[in-house]
Amino acid sequence: MYHNGVYHLFYQYNPLGATWGAGNLSWGHSISRDLVNWAALDTALDPTAPFDNNGCWSGSATILPGSIPALMYTGRIDAGKEVQVQNIAFPKNPADPFLHEWVKPAYNPVIRLPIDVPGDKFRDPTTAWVGGDGLWRIAVAAKVGGPSGIASTLIYRSKDFRRWKRNALPLYMSHTADMVECPDLFPVAEPGVEEGRLGYTSEMASGVLRHVLKLSVMETTQDYYAVGRYDDVVDTFVPEMDDERNVDDCRTWRRLDYGHMYASKTFFDARKNRRVLWAWANESDSKDDDIAKGWSGVQTFPRKVWLDKDGKQLRQWPIEEIETLRSKQVIYWLEAQVNAGGVNKIVGAGAQVDVEAIFEIPSLEEAETFEPNWLLDPQKLCEEKRASMPGGVGPFGLLVMASDDLREHTAIFFRVFRHNHNYKVLMCTDLTSCCTPVCCCRMWPQLLRALARRTNLIDQSVVESFGGGGRTCITARVYPEHAENNNSEVFVFNNGTGIVKVSRLEAWSLATAAVNVVHGGRIP
């Protein structure tokens, strides 16, 4: 949240170990002036009360009238029965600019476990908003009807933010998903309106016709979203889908990120009038590795989020403040080309770098024919058509986190296919020459927008790729052995049969941000 000139990031934290420990689960607390450099504070919430003695789980922040922040969070009680309830906390001293201490009222829990929901299937309250009737609302993830029940997002209403009543209808139900988590509902500006202009504060944004519902699905560990219509009279959300068969199955919705990302959360940044998304990139190495290094899990770079002009999908881009870390421009190309089978090094890029590139294809004659069944599983297509497999138009793109001899690298690439007198573009992140046999991918139905501006942020073990001006995002976790010696390289490559033109490529080495540095109460 943004409050009185300070950004506050609260996150799930085990102060007693590097891995998951439900009984020890607390809320870590960090503060910043710029969303880039962060100072660590003491934990905001710890499992100290009867209503959260087995962990303070996920939740959200809301700014109440009078500029009073409130934290709504899931408390787990009675380890044997695993009962989840919803609690509230307030700052001990609202005048404290850093909100060091938080108080949990004795009247918690404010929302008890419903009788039709299993004890461990009721969690993650959203940021609250006010409907047209003046009542507060929050959404909570639940599984209604027992262990084999329906994955639901329930709505609760309140006059005073203390006594909450469940709405008769859920916000949304999925009869096919097993359990959803971390719901997020927010308004989006209509196409043609200033990007990122609208967002929830403490009231319903006037004139908003469309909203986004984001759900995290446990069984796939992926985040899905739909653009649709939210009715605050009956408190229901109806996705706008090209195929109505997909309305009921949120696993068929668009993904926020086609890689290694989960449990995302947005907030409205009143300072810059934009919606900003944070997401969790968990580890893909072993638990023993996490214990050895003393930590696990990172936040992705914060991203600005807005509705694309097609009115159907979100676009994401790293917030502009990230550019303040650009310390040195190591290369700038204009109108360069990469021949078939070519590999060109971006000298000086390294393991912490920001690369922006625009690729153009002079000829599409060699594009391979697209098989219709590939649409059923683009992930499988990416695994079959890896970066190392020569093709017609592509694969071409970047090799990052690469050793100088290219024995280790992560490929971020495009591949163009001919389909029904048009073209489709596959964007993939291929980790098979790095450390993990995984491909992450997204299929585009159109060619021109897919080859537009793309950027890649490489930060030690995290590679975040934004293609088509932010229409597709892929996050990867990589652990190449050579990176321990801090000698990673970046290359442009082309394994297609024709020339690929790089109309522009810019790269900057990135300085290291201050991350959870203790500064004696000062913000760096």
Helices (H), 343-389: 378-384
pLDDT of residue 443: 58
Query: Does 247 lie in the same domain as 172?
Result: yes
Query: Does 496 lie in the same domain as 363?
Result: yes
pLDDT of residue 110: 98
The answer to which of 86-90, 416-420, 495-499 has the lowest mean pLDDT is 416-420
Cα separation of 302 and 299, whole Å? 8
pLDDT of residue 109: 98
Mean of the per-residue pLDDT values for the chain? 88
Residues 23, 18, 33, 125: is their CA dihedral positive or negative?
negative
Cα separation of 483 and 285, whole Å? 15
pLDDT digits (tens, 9 = 90+) for 221-272: 999 999 999 999 999 999 998 777 778 889 989 999 998 899 999 999 999 9
Amino acid in the structure at residue 454: R
Query: Does 248 lie in the same domain as 350?
Result: no
CATH number at residue 252: 2.115.10.20
Question: Contact at 8 Å (CB) between 69 and 63?
Answer: yes
Domain boundary among 297, 318, 339: 318
CATH number at residue 358: 2.60.120.560
pLDDT of residue 130: 92
Going from the C-alpha of 433 to that of each of 74, 411, 429, 485, the distances in angstroms are 41, 8, 11, 18
pLDDT band with cut points at 50, 70 and 90 for residue 437: very low
Domain boundary among 296, 318, 340: 318
Residue 159 lies in a domain: yes
pLDDT of residue 21: 75
User: Is omega for the bond preceding 109 within 30 degrees of 0, making it cis?
Assistant: yes
Query: Does 276 lie in the same domain as 355?
Result: no
pLDDT band with cut points at 50, 70 and 90 for residue 29: very high
Cα separation of 483 and 463, whole Å? 13
Going from the C-alpha of 459 to that of each of 14, 150, 329, 463, 479, the distances in angstroms are 24, 39, 16, 6, 11
pLDDT digits (tens, 9 = 90+) for 39-62: 999 999 999 999 999 999 999 999
Residue 260 lies in a domain: yes
Query: Does 458 lie in the same domain as 338?
Result: yes
Residue 407 lies in a domain: yes
Query: Does 344 lie in the same domain as 202?
Result: no
pLDDT of residue 82: 85
Residue 495 lies in a domain: yes
Query: Does 300 lie in the same domain as 351?
Result: no
Query: Does 308 lie in the same domain as 329?
Result: no
Domain span at 421: 324-510
Determine the 3-state secondary structure of 170 from DSSP.
coil
- What is the torsion angle, in degrees rounded to the nearest 10, for the CA atoms of residue 434, residue 439, residue 445 and residue 447? 10
Query: Does 375 lie in the same domain as 313?
Result: no
pLDDT digits (tens, 9 = 90+) for 85-132: 999 999 999 999 999 999 999 999 999 999 999 999 999 999 999 998
Going from the C-alpha of 169 to that of each of 7, 143, 219, 327, 436, the distances in angstroms are 35, 14, 25, 52, 43
pLDDT of residue 439: 56
Residue 152, phi then psi, degrees to nearest 5: -135, 155
pLDDT of residue 60: 97
Domain boundary among 318, 342, 365: 318
Total number of domains constituting the chain: 2
Residue 515 lies in a domain: no
- Predicted TM-score of the model (pTM): 0.92
pLDDT digits (tens, 9 = 90+) for 171-199: 999 988 889 999 999 999 876 655 555 55
Residue 11 pairs in a beta bridge with 28
pLDDT of residue 381: 84
Query: Does 28 lie in the same domain as 54?
Result: yes
Tokens 């997401």 appear where?
A: 279
Kindly tell me if the per-residue pLDDT of 448 is higher than 80. Answer: no
pLDDT band with cut points at 50, 70 and 90 for residue 450: very low
